[in-house]
Each structure stands twice: as C-alpha cells, then as structure tokens.
Amino acid sequence: MIIKVCGMRDSENIRAVEKIGVDWMGFIFFPGSSRYVGEGLSYIPEKVKRVGVFVNEPLESVRVIALKNRLQIIQLHGNEPPGYCVSLKNAGFTIVKAFGIESGKPFPEELVEQYEGSCDYFLFDTRTAQHGGSGRKFHWKLLSSYRGETPFLLSGGVRAEDAVEVKGFNHAQFAGVDLNSGFETTPAIKDSIRLQNFIKTIRYEQD
C-alpha cells in the first residue's frame, strides 16, 4: 500500500517524515492553500517520491515548477481536462487526478470515466471549495460504485485512529492512502510519531 503524506513545507519536518517509511510526499503549489510552499522547496527529499499538487495551473508553469523541484508525480485538483493530464504524462510524469466526493450524493461515475487511460492514479477526496485539505471524511462505501481500472488513493480526513479501518478497506483498485490534516499539529506541520504509529499498524501489526 502506498503511504502518501501531503501538505509538507518546513524543511526539518520534511526530513523527519522522510525517515519514517512513507512512499510519497506531497507539496502544494496552489497559492490558495494554507500549506502553499511557494515556487521552491526549502529541502528536496531523496528517499520518497516527490509529488507536486496543482490546481488549474497553466501547463508550462507546472513543467517549470516540476523541473525546478525535481518532482516525479503531478497531482491535479482542479478542472484539468483529460488532455491536460495526457500532456504531462507524455512529458514523463506520473499523473494523479483528484475527484471530490460528497457524502449523500452519488459517486461521480461519468466524470471519473472520462479520465480512464489518461492518468496513472485517481485520488478520491472529500469535496470542498478549497480543493481539499478539509479534514473531513466522506462515506467510503460510495467507492463501491467505482468500477474503473485506474488504481486510486483514499483521501479526506484520514486520522491515526482510522488505521485499522484503512487496513481493512477492500476494493480491487485501492492502491494507497493520502494523509494530511489529520496528522498535523498546525497547517503543514506533521506529527511524525503519529504517522509512524499509523504506518506500523497498516504494515506490520497482525490482525
């Protein structure tokens, strides 16, 4: 299972989280986010896959920022069309397209289907006006309506106490979990001990 920690910014905190066995680390390049990193990382980690999170950013700007910060994965949280995703994929990046899910509303099956084949992963997050980072969950049972072939990451308000539930979550395309606000002491600062305990439960503890 992929463990992604998103919304990183502080260089010492990045170093601490880099050491505990996460797979991907996300950096938000959207100025509207409280976890915005600016145009350059204060420290570029080497032991994780580096993910840049963008919202409706011009393609050329994404390419420039990605090359400057040696990003390997591009995560898109706006209204970027499938062709936009394909363009970045053809440039050599792994592409993650995020979709907002609302509890009480149907899974957006028709929208998601449009992106099959143009992305490497999907990310299902709680729908918010801020394009993520709400700290709120959606009903994971809605994902039973997803029958596509693209693997996905589960996001939206996942916390340390959800480790057993995440471990037991079952879907053919479930590939990993995206952790952010549920592990923060303040915006962009993660509690590495809580993260470490979560990873231990997910990966090492027997049922």
In this structure, the strands spanning 189-190 and 184-186 are antiparallel
Q: What is the pLDDT of residue 104?
A: 84
Mean pLDDT, range 69-94, rounded to an integer: 97
Model confidence, pTM: 0.94
Contact in structure between 112 and 146 (CB atoms under 8 Å): yes
The stretch 176-196 carries a mean pLDDT of 95
Q: Residue 19 belongs to a domain with what CATH number?
A: 3.20.20.70
* Rounded-to-integer distance, Cα 37 and Cα 51, Å: 12
Domain extent for 153: 2-203
pLDDT tens-place string over residues 5-32:
999 999 999 999 999 999 999 999 999 9
Tokens of 110: 């028709």
State both tokens at 14.
Answer: 């990045």
- The count of structural domains within the chain is 1
Give long-range contacts, CB 8 A cutoff, 24+ apart: 66-71.
66/93, 68/39, 68/40, 69/27, 69/40, 69/41, 69/44, 70/44, 71/27
- Structure token digits, residue 144: 């039973």
Please state the rounded mean pLDDT for residues 103-114. Answer: 93
Q: Please, are residues 97 and 74 in contact by the beta-carbon 8 Å criterion?
A: no
Reported in sequence order, the residue ranges of 30-161 that DSSP labels E, i.e. its strands, are 49-54, 73-76, 94-101, 121-126, 152-154
Nearest to 73 by CA among 60, 57, 54: 54
